[in-house]
Structure 1
Amino acid sequence: MPITSLPISTLDSPDRVILGIDPGTNFLGYGIIRKQGRKVEMLAMGIIDLHKVADIYLKLGRIYERIQGIIDSYLPDELAIEAPFFGKNVQSMLKLGRAQGVAIAAAMSRQIPIYEYAPLKIKQAITGNGQASKEQVAEMMKRMLHLRDEQMLSYLDATDALAAAYCHYLQSGHENRTEGAPRSWKSFVNHNQNRVSAGLTGPQQRLAAALAKTNKKV
């Protein structure tokens, strides 16, 4: 599958690694940046190509597995994900929502804090224009991260994901997260033991129980 990246060896002692995701059920884009001091660089970007997979549930399963694999490889500190665009096509919106939900679930399973950004906000942060085209976003990411031509992909889903990660970096403490909310699923479990045990069933309950058991050992 199309991917451009730096060697994993460059991941030694990062100050902050951010995974960006542009959800989709045909092509899901991802981009990973690392901040070290004042320097920000791209670690990887690529797509998860699912356009030949007919079954929607198989698509979602593969998204879940691939996102977990990316997280395990690059160990991001945070996930920045683009919110579904509320357009006229309800079916497309529902498909994007499913892909986004599965990607979020994969990050939750690895206890990664999650931040969501509207497409307009990402475009505004990157280009200064909330109505910018995907091509303009890609060009700005190329300039901001000093990417070479051979590092760029023809899939704009990848550069959109990279833009989501960079948008989160630019927020500098003003992330789109509810004030006072826990920074991760683990944090939520720590502060809401009764609510979690009473309100969840199945895989979520097993995850909560495992986290609670881990906390007791610490």
Structure 2
Amino acid sequence: MTRRILGIDPGSRITGFGVIDLIGSQRHYVASGCIRTVPGASLAERIRVIVAGIHDVIATYQPSEAAVEQVFVNVNPASTLMLGQARGACVAALVMKDLPVAEYTALQVKQSVVGQGKAPKEQVQYMVVKMLNLSGTPQEDAADALAVALAHANHSGGVMGALAQQGLRVKNGRLA
């Protein structure tokens, strides 16, 4: 059975997306890219572009589930608020199309893909290329979105998925 996972790296200016197929334990690249808003546009216009872009991606690639990176608290509260609104628009766009949505922190994504929660973006890009056997390196936001999709594949399938269905999770090597 094939699961098609859409990963989203939300941003108010650039929102990355990555689509992978999960067939058993095999992960296959389908597509990735960025939804870019118009520089200087109002927040409302940027949200419109993000929602329309996500709907286009869903229509084109027909994912069965989605995963979104959670917002981290930034030094600049205004930037954090704007990012949170863009992320909310992403989640709304996904649930409007009846997709189940999982959420992962940047730390969870990096730990899942790289094995180290404080890994630099270049290392995440490198591991995405290796894990999906890509011939080139995706743009940073697209690579982050693919990493979110990979993290979801890692956490929702196999032993981790079975534990999650029972309400359990692994933290620091122990069941929590």
- TM interval, shorter chain, is 0.7 to 0.9
The aligned counterpart of 2:151 is 167
Q: Structure 1, residues 78-137: CA drift from partner, whole Å, max 9, x if none?
A: 111000111221111111111111111111111000100000110011111111111110
Contact map agreement 1:25 1:51 (CA 8 A) in 2: no
The whole-number CA distance in structure 2 between the counterparts of 1:60 and 1:66 is 10
- Distance between the aligned counterparts of 1:53 and 1:68, measured in 2? 23
User: Higher strand fraction: Structure 1 or Structure 2?
Assistant: 2
Q: SS of 1:44's equivalent?
A: strand
Confirm whether residue 77 of structure 1 aligns to residue 57 of structure 2.
Answer: no
**Partner residue, 1:215:** none
The runs of 4+ residues in structure 1 deviating greater than 4 Å are 174-177
Are the counterparts in 2 of residues 115 and 175 from structure 1 also a CA contact under 8 Å? no
- How many aligned residue pairs are there? 163
Identity of aligned residues (%): 37
Displacement after TM superposition at 1:39 (Å): 2.0
| Separation (CA, whole Å) in 2 of partners of 1:142 and 1:100 | 25
How large is the RMSD of aligned CA atoms in angstroms? 1.9
Would you say 1:131 and 2:98 are equivalent positions?
no
Name the aligned partner's letter for residue 132 of structure 1: A
2:12 matches 1:34: no
Aligned residue among 44, 50, 62 for 1:63: 50
The answer for the alignment partner of 2:170 in structure 1 is none
User: d(CA) in 1 for partners of 2:125 and 2:164?
Assistant: 23
TM superposition score normalised by structure 1: 0.70
Ranked by relative contact order (alpha carbons within 8 Å, sequence separation 6 or more), the top structure is 2
- Contiguous gaps of at least 5 residues in structure 2: 168-176
Q: How does 1:1-218 map to 2 (within 5 A)?
A: 15-149=2-136, 152-153=137-138, 155-171=139-155, 172=157, 173=161
How far the C-alpha of 1:53 sits from its partner, in A, is 4.4
Once the two structures are TM-superposed, the CA of residue 56 in structure 1 deviates from its matched residue by 1.0
Q: Distance in 2 between matches of 1:115 and 1:44?
A: 19
